[in-house]
Structure 1
Amino acid sequence: MLSSCKALENLLLWNIFIAGHLRISSPTLRRVGFSVCAGHKELVIEDVPRLERLLLPSRGRGGGTIQFIRAPKLEMLGPLSAGVAVFQGTMPISLTNLMHTVKALALTSGPQLNVVLDILKCFPYLERLYAVLQKNSKMDVKDVSLYGPLDSVECLGTHLKEMVILNYEGREQDVGFAKFFVLNAVVLKKIKFGVPKNNNSDWVAIQLDLLQVENRASQDAQFDFKCGLDDVINYPCIHDLSLTDPFDCLFSE
Structure 2
Amino acid sequence: MADGGAPLSTAGHGGVDLISDLNDDVLREIITRLPLMEAARTAVLASRWRYLWRSDRLVLKDVDIHEPARDAVVPRVLADYPGHFRTVILADCRLASLDRELPAWPRLLVDKRTEELLLANRWVMDQPNPARLLPADILRCDSLQELTLDFWTFPSGTEVLLPRLRALAIVRIVISEQELECLIAASPVLESLRLTVNSSKHVRLRSKSLMCALVGLLKVEELTVVDTPLLARLFLFLSLPLNGVRIRIVCAPNLRVLGYLNTGTHELQIGDSVIRPDRMVSTSTVVPSVQILALTVNFGVFVEVKMLASFLRCFPNVDTLHIQSVLRGPSVTANEPSGDHHANFWREISPICCLRSHVKKMVIHNFRGDQNEFEFLKFVAMNAEELQSLLVASHKDILSSAVKVNETKDELQRLQFPTGISAVLRVSHKAATVWRLGKACILTIDDPFEC
TM-score where L is the length of structure 1? 0.86
Query: Aligned to 1:216, which of 417, 442, 445?
Result: 417
* CA positional deviation for 1:123: 1.3
Q: Which residue of 1 aligns with 2:286?
A: 98
Q: Which residue of 1 aligns with 2:361?
A: 162
SS at match of 2:381: helix
* Pairs within 5 Å for 1:26-41: 26-38=207-219, 40-41=220-221
Aligned-CA RMSD value: 2.4
TM-superposition CA deviations, 1:16-35 (whole Å, max 9, x none): 2223x111111111110001
Structure 2 unaligned blocks of 5 or more: 1-182
Could you tell me which residue of structure 1 aligns to residue 245 of structure 2? 64
Alpha-carbon shift at residue 148 of structure 1 (Å): 4.3
Residue identity matched to 1:131: I
2:297 is aligned with what amino acid? Answer: S
Post-superposition offset of 1:74: 0.6
| Structure 1 position 244 matched with structure 2 position 446 | yes
Where has structure 1 moved over 4 Å in runs of 4 or more? 136-139, 202-205
Counterpart of 1:174?
A: 373
User: In the alignment, is the contact (CA less than 8 A) between 1:11 and 1:29 conserved in 2?
Assistant: yes
Residue identity over aligned pairs, in percent, reads: 24
Q: Identify which of 298, 311, 322 aligns with 1:110.
A: 298
CA 1:208 to 1:183, structure 2 compared with 1: closer, same or farther past 3 Å?
farther
Residue by residue, what CA displacement relative to the aligned partner does 1:140-164 show, whole Å, maximum 9, x if unpaired? 3222233348713011111011111
Indicate whether 1:42 and 2:222 are aligned. Answer: yes
Q: Aligned with 1:6: secondary structure? A: coil
The amino acid that maps onto 2:327 is: K
- Aligned equivalents of 2:361 and 2:240: distance in 1? 21
Distance 1:132 1:115, change over 3 A: same
SS in 2 for 1:16: coil
Aligned-partner Cα distance in 2 for 1:41–1:159: 32
Deviations 1:21-64 (A, max 9, x none): 111111111110001332x2111111110001000022474321
Change over 3 Å in CA distance of 1:205–1:175 after alignment to 2: same
1 or 2 for the larger relative contact order (CA 8 Å, sep ≥6)?
1
Residue 4, structure 1, aligned to residue 186, structure 2: yes
Q: 2:400 aligns with which of 169, 176, 198?
A: 198
- In the superposition, the TM-score normalised over structure 2's length comes to 0.50
Partner residue in 2 for 1:153: 352
Residue of structure 1 aligned with 2:262, choices 50, 66, 81? 81
Q: 1:130 to 1:215 in 2, by over 3 A?
A: same
Question: Corresponding residue for 2:43?
Answer: none
Contact 1:121–1:152 under 8 Å retained in 2: no
TM-aligned CA distance change 1:147 to 1:176, over 3 Å? closer
DSSP-derived class of the 2:253 partner: coil
Distance 1:221 1:74, change over 3 A: farther
The structure with more strand, counted as a fraction of residues: 1
Aligned length: 246
